Each structure stands twice: as C-alpha cells, then as structure tokens.
Amino acid sequence: MTPGVRRQRRGTGDWIQLMLAEARGVPPGYWVMSGLVVIGITLMRVATAGSAAMGADVVQALALILMTYVLYRAAVPVRPVVRIGPPLIRFGAAWIAAILFTLVPLAIARALLPAGARLADLWLWAFVATTIANLVLLPLAPWIAALAIGDRQIGPGGGWRLLRRQFGSFAGAYLAVVSPCFAVHLMLTMLLDDPASTLSGTALIAVVFVDSAASLAQLVLSVALGTAAWRLREGKPAR
C-alpha cells in the first residue's frame, strides 16, 4: 500500500458506496444460499420458541458462522470459498467472542427494565445496548474479515490502525445502512419469540420472511463493510 492510499480519507457516503459495491460483488448464488439458510434459521427458531432446545441454538450458531465465513471469502474472492480448517476455526472463535460481548450490555439493559415491560420498551433498550456494543467492536471489522480471508498479517489492533483516522465516517456508514436492518430484524425476532404473540397463518409467514430479509441484509452488508475496510491494507478499491 502506498503512503497516499494509506492516508486517504473517506466520508460516510464513500464508505456506503464501497459497502454496496462489495455487496454487489457477491455472486448471486451465495445470496440465494444465504437467504435459504437465514429462512431456515428463522423457521427453526419459531418452531423451538419457548423450549429449552440447546441443540437448535448450536445448529443455528454453526450455520451462521459458516455462512458468514463463506460470504467473506466469496466477496474478495478467495479460493476455495469453502475451506474447513484453521481460518474457519479462528474466525468462528472470534465471531463467538463478539456475540458473547454484545450479550453483556444486552443483559444489563434487560435487568434495568421492570417486570412486565412493554415489547416496544424491551426492543428500544435492547437495540440501544446492542448498537453500543457493536460500535465498540466496529474497529475490529478489518481483522474479522482478515480471519475469514486467511490474512494473518492483521491482528486485532491492526483494524484500529487502519480505521483510526476515519472511524467516525466508517461508524456513520454502519449506523446509516446496517443498523436500520438490525433494528427491523431485532423487533421482528422479539415479536416471533414473544410467548404472548398471537401471530399465525399468513401474518406469521409474512413476519418470518420480512425478518429473514432484514437479517440477510444486515449480514451481507456487515460483511461488505468489513471487506471494504480490510481492503485498506492492500490499497485496492472495492469492486
């Protein structure tokens, strides 16, 4: 990477354009595959709602890890796209650690709410808490992408060094594009998981598919934003 490329400053609009370019670069087949996986996960969650189905949770987590890993590698692209080995293990461990980190402020937010709080209040507190946690983790985006890609030259601190002069605009792109998808996904997930929910028939099917679409958009756009940030180290533009 040349010094000129390293010092290049990007605004929020620039990051959004790069993110969308990366997303468009993902082959259509991987969009279809990801969509089917997300719909399957949503249906599994609906079917096991209210039960202590730990096995189902493990299956869903493993499916998300593998799907996200494949999307990173397909976006670059890296061959083979599906490679079961050390890169997947390292990426999966980092992914699980990030999820566990986001659960801490989420648990605190729920503990602060009174018993019997409205679903809208639960959603708002959960959304704010999780968004704050995601912003704290956002400097790791290039490193997470590097783990999936198999690039061992970036450590956890490497992501911050790549983004430190433009983190505000990078976070702005996340808040403007990815965060709204997460907001919709979180609300519909909480609605589907609510024991008092009376959704059935056509309404239930509609919510499942809209929730799946929001979840897929959040996932693919997060991958695209992380890949765009990872490209800073190689001095190459996004697609």
* Separation CA 186–CA 165 (nearest Å): 31
Residue 137 pLDDT: 94
Instruction: Say how far apart CA 199 and CA 206 lie, in whole Å.
Output: 10
Highest mean pLDDT of the ranges 83-92, 151-160, 165-174, 225-234: 165-174
For a pLDDT cut of 70, what percent of the chain falls above it?
90
Helices assigned H by DSSP within the chain:
3-6, 12-25, 28-47, 54-75, 86-112, 119-137, 141-149, 156-163, 167-173, 179-193, 201-230
Which residue, chain included where needed, has tokens 């956890």? Answer: 156
Question: Residue holding tokens 């897929």?
Answer: 216
Residue 145: pLDDT over 50: yes
Taking only the tens place, the pLDDT of each residue in 105-127 is: 888 887 888 777 788 888 898 99
Inform me whether the pLDDT recorded for 42 exceeds 90: no
Reduce the DSSP state of residue 75 to 3 states and report it: helix
Q: What is the rounded CA–CA span in Å between residue 87 and residue 99?
A: 18
Q: What is the pLDDT of residue 18?
A: 94
Q: In this predicted structure, what is the pLDDT of residue 8?
A: 67
pTM to 2 decimals? Answer: 0.86
C-alpha closest to that of 158 among 173, 172, 170, 144: 144
pLDDT for res 94? 94
* Residue 34 C-beta-side C-alpha neighbours within 13 Å: 27
Q: Which two tokens stand for residue 170?
A: 């990078």
At residue 50, the pLDDT reads 57
Over residues 184-201, the mean pLDDT reads: 81
SS3 25: helix
